[in-house]
Amino acid sequence: MSSLYSLISFFPLKILYSLSTFLSTFLPFIYRGRIVRKNLMKSFPDMPEGEIQKIHNSFYINFCDLFFEIIKSYSISESELSNRVNFKNFHVINEKLSNNKKVLVFASHQCNWEWLLLASQLNLSTPLNVVYKRISNKKFDKVMMDSRSRFGSVLIDSKKALLYLKRNLKDVNVLAVVADQSPTKKNRKSWRKLLNQDTAFFKSVEYLPRIMNSYVYFASMQRTKRGHYSVNFDLISEPNSNSKKDILSEYVLKLENQIKSKPDEWLWTHNRWKFTQDDI
């Protein structure tokens, strides 16, 4: 499996995007088309059907591009990645780190979070610690771990993240979390309103800023053209206010605004609202 994955990753992106265009014509009919439509209709209840369909179609084009871009992550060069992911203000992160401050970055499943993490590491002189959720298929999990850590990032299993931080806090200067992951029924969770719906988030998202005593940023990512992205880091909180602020709510607000501005760039295939508070 890893050999095939590696082989495909060496195809030029021009070829991969041609494959993506072909795949996007029929994928909605065979992969989670109903879930995408249901999520869109519940999230935008007042939106006309024609607009919902337009977002639906555009989403699958972006989703197929993302699929091949993630494969490309396995072999993409530093120069090509730097050319494709433009950071508007990465200096704010490095300024904090150079002053021996800790930084926590909350990202989301908007655009290409895999390239965001890889490109961020290229702009850092210290390892980027990334909380990740293991994939049940061990072989594929190994492939993704190799891809995500190829520029020096340190991957932390989400199930052990809090314990890892408590034991290794002095070595963790910058931490990234894709914070719109969906917890299971067994996980400790916090509930917030997102896109008109009660939405569960990992409870640990609330703990991390306090444990790290860090600056907290939201990584806002937008697609500027096919295969090219722009990233801005929006400050959510500072160390002296982490215990006073509802940081999760501020993250959710920024996430919702980002989704509303570019709804076709979020991961709608995920069954994000599969259970409610009444189901717990």
Between CA 242 and CA 212 the distance in angstroms is 10
Q: Which residue bears the tokens 């508070």?
A: 277
pLDDT in the model for residue 261: 97
The pTM score is 0.96
pLDDT in the model for residue 1: 57
Between CA 38 and CA 231 the distance in angstroms is 29
Which tokens go with 213? 């005593």
Summarised one tens digit per residue, pLDDT across range 208-225 is 999 999 999 999 999 999
**What is the 3-state secondary structure of 83-130?**
HHEEECCCHHHHHHHHCCCCEEEEECCECCHHHHHHHHHHCCCCCCEE
pLDDT in the model for residue 3: 82
pLDDT tens for each residue of the chain, 280 residues long: 578 888 999 999 999 999 999 999 999 999 999 999 999 999 999 999 999 999 999 999 999 999 999 999 999 999 999 999 999 999 999 999 999 999 999 999 999 999 999 999 999 999 999 999 999 899 999 999 999 999 999 999 998 999 999 999 999 999 999 999 999 888 899 999 999 999 999 998 999 999 999 999 999 999 999 999 999 999 999 999 998 999 999 999 999 999 999 999 999 999 999 888 877 6
pLDDT in the model for residue 2: 73
CA distances from 55 to 10, 36, 259 (A): 31, 10, 12
Backbone angles phi, psi at 133, to 5 degrees: -100, 120
The residue extents of the domains of the chain are 2-272
